[in-house]
Amino acid sequence: MRGCQVFRNGGSALDACEEAIKCLENSGNTNAGYGSNLTWDGTVECDASIMDGSTLLFGSCTNVSLVKNPISLARIICERQSRMLALERIPPMSMAGDGATKYAQEVGCIMLEKDQLISGRAQRLHNHYKEKVARFEDINKIQINYLDTVGAICVDANGNTAAGCSSGGLVLKVSGRIGQAATYGAGCWAQNSPDISVSTCTTGNGEYLMKTFLAKEVSQDLMSNSSHDCPATILHKTFKDKFLESPFVPQGRELYGGALSLVYYPKTYNGEVLWSHTTRSLCVGYMSTFQRNPKFVNSTLPSYSKPGESIVVNGQNFKLPI
């Protein structure tokens, strides 16, 4: 709803994408911004990225702990990609840790004191799993449940797209770990052409999403639909061939992944919202400026399916062939 309000006020796809993710970062109920999962050391380390389909510029930040809205810092880094620094130095595309924090202060991001991003829910979750690790001394025996990455995909009246994502990472992650939400081609992708505009954001096992460049692969397969196949069919094929059966990810393990995509055809003013996942569930909300209220979908795998053995595409379940 916040994103649509941006459009009604004349904002761009990039404006709407940032605003939608800021709302999620501030909620305290998601694993992004305030409420992010805590690292093994009990701190918040946020990742975020955003991409502008009209310019193909990308910006990201990682391991930031004092920036209220990491997506806003990522957006500033993205936009400043088009301006060379003094002495013709190339501006950064990704920034991390203390350097990113100092930069955020310089460019006017809202900063917080240490621990202000830690919610009561995140602290309780951290304590709960830390106690389990101490008791069983083997993290592989522990089933960790958590809310994962948040993301947004938007298209404006001119057919320009934007995509972004933000995450606090895994519960009890190693301090300094970089996730897909801050990685080029893995967390988000947006690209425009005169005939079709596509944007995608992802969630799931960050390391596997990074190895397969899932956001980029999904978006470009949807863009290059020369045979005019059903977009849902293309999404299913990409998920199967380039993620679940990719030679870059371990086989025989549960591979958790999800992708939310927007396909828009500027010449006919039509488009589709698509999603696919192997996670137990994927929460999707969507809205256009013609709607008064957003619509929500909680897409789930059947109870008899195991992640990695079944794919949900737009609410329809597909079992992988044996």
For the segment 223-246, what is each residue's pLDDT rounded down to a tens digit?
Answer: 998 667 899 999 999 999 999 999
289 a catalytic residue: no
On average, the pLDDT of the chain sits at 91
pLDDT in tens, 174-209: 999 999 999 999 999 999 999 999 999 999 999 999
Is 272 among the domain residues? yes
Alpha-carbon distance of 33 to 46, in angstroms, equals: 7
Q: Are 185 and 170 in contact (CB under 8 A)?
A: no
How much is the pLDDT for 262? 97
| Domain containing residue 227 | 2-121+123-129+141-319
Determine, yes or no, domain membership for 134. no
| Position 136 in a domain | no
Give dist(CA 118, CA 249) in Å, integer. 32
Given a contact cutoff of 8 angstroms between Cβ atoms, the answer to whether 301 and 237 are in contact is no
Q: SS3 of 127, please?
A: helix
pLDDT band at 111 (very low <50, low <70, confident <90, very high): very high
**CATH code of the domain containing 262:** 3.60.20.30
Q: Which of 283, 282, 279, 273 is nearest to 310 (CA)?
A: 279
Q: Into how many domains does the chain fold? A: 1
The helix/strand/coil state of 248 is coil
Amino acid (one-letter) located at 260? L
For residue 163, is it within any domain?
yes
Is 171 part of any domain? yes
Dihedrals φ, ψ of 188, to 5°? -155, 160
Tell me whether residue 135 is in a domain: no
Residue 296: inside a domain: yes
pTM assigned to the model? 0.93
pLDDT digits 0-9 by tens, 131-183: 887 776 555 555 555 557 899 999 998 999 999 999 999 888 999 999 999 99
Catalytic residue of the set 62, 149, 161, 279:
149
pLDDT tens per residue, range 63-82: 999 999 999 999 999 999 99
